[in-house]
Structure formats: C-alpha cells, structure tokens
Amino acid sequence: MWKWATTSPICARRGDWWLVSASLDVSPIVGVVDLSESILGVCLCAQCRHSAWAVNDATACVPRWSADLSASLTCRSRTIMDCCTSGTKSLEISLNSESGGVVAVSGIPWSFVTEVEFTPMPDGPIRRIGVLSMHTSPLDQPGAGDSGGLNVYVRELAASMANKGTECDVYVRRTNPDVPELVELETGVNVIQIEAGPYGLEKGDLPAVLDPWTQGVAAYLDKRPVDALHAHYWLSGVAGHHLKHQFDVPLAVTFHTLGRIKSIAGDSEPEDRIRAEEAVIGCADAVFASGSVEADQLTSLYGIPLDRIEILTPGVDSNIFSPGPLPSARAAIGLGDYPVLLFVGRIQALKGLDVAIGALASSKSQDAQLVVVGGLSGDEGPETLKALQQQIEINGLEDRVVFIDPQPHQALPVYYRAADICLVPSRSESFGLVALEAAACGTAVVASNVGGLRDNVVNGVTGLLVAERDQKIFAAAIDELLDKPEMRYEMGRRGAQRATLNSWDLGAANAIEVFGRLTSRELVSCA
C-alpha cells in the first residue's frame, strides 16, 4: 500500500488548497524508484489538469512501489476534488529526487484508491507576492506605447499564481486619474497605482520619479505585507533593491531586456542604466531568465552566478491561442485569398518593422500583403511611423501594407490563424512572446536569430531563424515557405504541438517553488 498520510504538509500555501489523504494499492504496477527524504512529487488530475505538490516525510529510501511511503499531498484547487472523487477519473503521478531519480506513473485508476479524504489547509508561507512593474501596467492595452509582451507576462503570471493560492499585488505608476487606486484584475490579483510624477511621462523620464514611486509602494507594503518581491524591468529592480532591505524579504528580478544586450544589438543605452542593472543583480536573490540563451547572456555579460539564475519560461494560454481554420479567420477580419504576412508588436525601431516592409518589397510574391497589428511606442513613435510610410511609398506598397490598431490580447488568435507566416524581425528579444503565440495558433514563424527567439523558434522545425537582419535574406526565407505549403503547414503543426509545453500554469508553479526556497534561506547581501 502507498499511503498518503494526514501529516501537516511542508508545502501548504493557502487556505483554498486541500490536503488529500489516500491509500493507493499500486502493487500491480511494476517499477523501481529511488526516493530520498528530500523528494518532491507532482500529482495531476487527469481531467482538469490541476496540479498538487507532494513532499516525502520518509527518512529512508523506498526501493519499490509496494513499500510504504508516508507523504503529504496538497491540491491547489477544489476542482481536483470535484473531478477525482467521482471514482471515474485517474491520477498522473511523477516523482523525482534531488539525486536525479525520476519515475512517472500515468493514469493510475481510482480502483487502486482504497480511501481518500479532503481537508482544507491553513495558510502557509507564501501568501502574497509584491509584483513591481513601474513603467507599464497590466491594465494597459498591449501593442501601444510602452505596453507589450511584458504587460501580458505580468498579468498572466500573476493570474496563474493567484489561481494556485498565492495572491499578487501588482504595483504600477498611476498614468490615468480616472482609474481607481486599487483595481482587482481578478480574484487574488490587485493592481495598485502609485502616484509619482505627471501622468504623461515618457519611459526615459521615469528615473526622475523612481524615488517617490518607491516610497509610495513602501507605504502600501506597510499595510499589505508580502512574503517576497518580483521586479520587472530594471527600473522596478532598483525599487525592489531598496524595498528588499526595508522589509527584509527576498527579491527576484525579471529584466525582460538588458542594457548591454540592447547596446550590442545597436541600441545605445545610458551608462546609468547599466550601473543600475549591475547593482540590482548584486542584490537580487534570484534572477529569472526566459530560457537558456538569456541565462548564458546573464552569466557572460553580467557575471551572475548560475545558482542565482532561475529559468522561468513565459507561457501561452492554449485555451485562447490554438490552431483554427484559415478561411474563417480571414473572413472575420476582411482578408482575401492571397499570401498574408503578419507583424504583431509596437511600432518602434527595436521591433524591426522596417525589415518586414523591406522583405515584402524584395519578395518574389507580387500579391502578398503585410498586416501590421500594433501602435506607436515612445516619443520616437511618430518619426518611426513617418519613415516607414516613406519606405512604403518608395517601394510602391501602399496597397499591400495594412495597419491595424492594437487589439485586445484575446482577439489576437484570429490574426495569427489568418496569416501564412508571422514575422518577428527584432533587433533583440529576451523571449519573443509573439513567436510563441503564433506557433500556438499553428502559424509558421520567420524570426531574427537573436536572444530568446533562439529558444522559442526551432529552426527548420517550427519556423526559420534568419542570421542577418537583411531584408533580402528575410525575403528569401519568406519565399521558401510560400513556395512550400506542405513545409509551412508542418512547421505550424509542430509549432502548435511544442507551444503546449509552455503554459503559464507551469510557470506559476515554478515561480512559487522558487519564492518558497528564497524565503527559507539567508538573503543575498549587496556586493
């Protein structure tokens, strides 16, 4: 018998989680497992996919399934109780030890369950995370101004963490006097707007109001304590640096973009930013990287020890971003029967829309259209748009480039599904969420071979990576996919399949686990 004991679980977090006690007779299952006392297990409801953590209380290794194992299991949703007590569902259990041993049992029938008990759990160590996002808010429309993938990242990660029982207070700078100071984005996610400077400031002016913003956040934290801080972008990292010491809580930072990486890509960044990033890195208890490429950059360019880098891959909501029929998608947005190239993002030099327009002009396809979904960004936005319009006129593309205003995030799938190819010609990207969303919708991607796009796009499998940001080289990649519809379809299929591995639910589980570790160890001292 495998016995799930009713002992107090080490991993309990929130009152809306459940302790599950069950006895499982798994002796018919053949398998060998080497478990240490530090074992961590994961249980997934086979229907609703809600996960639960299990921590082994045993003091000795358990060599076989038939042996007794005393452990505690915490479900992160009442939904798992509703699904699994019907007697018709199954569990998927995987266990892995720190020594690297892994065992997975899929679809254990509930006929093996001899008893089961659900008990509400008390509050645990990770109750609330303070999310710092000074320069952009999850309340803003992505694709315009300073709003983009970072907005989506903050909103989706916070929502997924809240769904797992960890509340998130997201601190932003107030930019609209008509919006309440505190907005409940959804259950467990509060957006708190802090007054700091005039409402219409550009991003380059924000360092001047960083101190009053930090003080405003501190005043709120006095009233609403948090167990840890998660700062997004270097400005919030500077604030987090001060708040960490003031409140003696761990600090994790996701930079999204880094000054040295942008400088290498051709965008000059002030030295003050570089020094600020170095100071934040010296203080941060953990730095989240979106993938292996960014982790390598953090190590090589900033000297971050590997033991302080945590991989937190952004996700995609497969309930929204999924393949669909191309004809109906085109009909919905008024596109005809011609090759469609898609660009989604802010209209700024960094995103490389000029390369996309140049590639359209150089393409062998004379009837392809480029659909641009996005708005102006920053004070250079109008000049950037003016230069792009001149480029369009010079190349005679007035009837082949369509500009569409930024769309709500949940409306983007129809544009991805309507496209033959999604173009991501960025100078630099820490991850490139657009590429993942396009792939999730079954659309092949042609992207720059930079940053996180190297992790995100599998060259020759889910799309094509272009080594140089040259319009003719991009055009050649586009023409190859337009000439080979079977290849394009297969890339879309594989991209959609691979995108299912990136979920905000898994990212949130990872983040909660990291924050749990940070709260149990000594904080990093400033260098």
> What pLDDT is attached to residue 427?
87
User: What's the number of CA atoms in the CB half-sphere (13 Å) around residue 521?
Assistant: 11
Q: 252 has which bridge partners?
A: 230, 286
User: Do 326-501 and 128-315+505-519 fall under one CATH topology?
Assistant: yes
3-state secondary structure of 309: strand
CA angle 325, 330, 336 (to 5 degrees): 130
- Residues with Cβ within 8 Å of 377's Cβ and at least 6 positions away in sequence, in order, are 144, 145, 146, 148, 346, 347, 348, 384
Spell 482-518 as b/e; 16+ CB within 10 A means b.
Answer: beeeeebeebbebbbebbeebbbbebbbbbbebbbeb
Q: Which fold would CATH assign to domain 128-315+505-519?
A: Rossmann fold (3.40.50)
**Angstrom distance (rounded) from CA 402 to CA 167:** 41
> What pLDDT is attached to residue 18?
33
Query: What's the alpha-carbon Rg for the chain, to the nearest Å?
Result: 25
Scan for tokens 């160590």, then name that residue.
125
- Spans of the chain below 70 pLDDT: 1-125, 141-148, 265-266, 378-379, 527
Tokens at 85, concatenated: 């007590």
Tokens at 245, concatenated: 């010491």
Q: How confident is the model over 471-510, as pLDDT tens digits? A: 999 999 999 999 999 999 999 999 999 998 888 998 999 9
What is the 3-class SS of 288-304, one letter each residue? Answer: EECCHHHHHHHHHHHCC
> What pLDDT is attached to residue 382?
85
**Burial of 199 per CB tally in 10 Å (0-12, 13-18, 19+):** exposed
Phi-psi region of 142 (alpha: psi -120 to 50; beta: other; left: phi over 0): beta
Across 385-513, where does the E strand assignment appear?
401-404, 421-424, 444-448, 463-466
Pairing of strands 18-24, 71-75: antiparallel
Q: How confident is the model over 185-240, as pLDDT tens digits? A: 999 999 999 999 998 888 788 999 999 999 999 999 999 999 999 999 999 999 99
Domain boundaries, the chain: 2-120, 128-315+505-519, 326-501
**Angstrom distance (rounded) from CA 455 to CA 471:** 23
> What pLDDT is attached to residue 220?
95
Task: Give me the amino acid identity at 16.
Answer: D
CATH number listed for the domain at residues 326-501:
3.40.50.2000
Scan for tokens 């002992």, then name that residue.
7
Q: Which of 247, 305, 284, 291 is nearest to 524 (CA)?
A: 284
Q: Give kind and range of the element (H or E) at residue 485.
A: helix 485-499
